[in-house]
Amino acid sequence: AQDCQVANIPVMQNFDKSRFAGKWYAVAKKDPVGLFLLDNVAATYVIDESGKMTANAYGRVIILNNWEMCANMFATFEDTPDPAKFKMTYWGAASYLQSGNDEHWVIDTDYDNYAIHYSCREVDMDGTCLDGYSFIFSRHPTGLRPEDQKIVTDKKKEICLLGKYRRVSHTGKSLYLFIWKW
């Protein structure tokens, strides 16, 4: 049983960021308040010679009053004593895109197929998460392999977000998106 305390959420043991590097497609997402990245979301993580992790992410976003566009985002990560928990600073290629500081936790991954990301932005007075978001990532744009689905469902339960996700599609709706993705 899980108590849903943010401080007690289990994260990936012995997380190896070099194996995590490369491209991940978001296949599902639990949105935060004031959601930003909608669909066609992918993130590419890079580890430099000094071991520092950075990421480049893109996705379709809605800004201001229902303006849809593709966002190019950048993120840097600061290590913490727990190798699976990072402090993320992110910003957009354009000034009207979101920017900020978020937690970036890796809950579980097999590095080659699936990864579960988690970020609580605001912890409630009772220690549970009041506002946060989570991405289910796949190495495959087509989604999770059937054999990974049960693992991911069990983890969603563990982080108290089962039933809170929506699918993130990778089917470009416009020619612009199509070009962007290729």
Q: Which residues make up the interface to ligand DAO (CB under 6 A)?
A: 31-32, 35-37, 43, 55, 57, 73, 75, 90, 98, 117, 133, 135
Q: Min. distance of Cβ 122 from ligand DAO in angstroms?
A: 13
Does the CA dihedral 61-25-14-149 come out positive or negative? positive
Q: Min. distance of Cβ 49 from ligand DAO in angstroms?
A: 21
Tokens for 170, please give them.
Answer: 């990778």
Cβ-based nearer residue to ligand DAO, 20 or 133? 133
Cβ-based nearer residue to ligand DAO, 94 or 150? 94
With tokens 């993320």, the residue in question is: 88
Cβ-based nearer residue to ligand DAO, 60 or 143? 60
Give every CB contact of residue 43 below 8 A, 6+ residues apart in sequence: 23, 24, 26, 55, 56, 57, 135, 137
Q: Min. distance of Cβ 104 from ligand DAO in angstroms?
A: 6
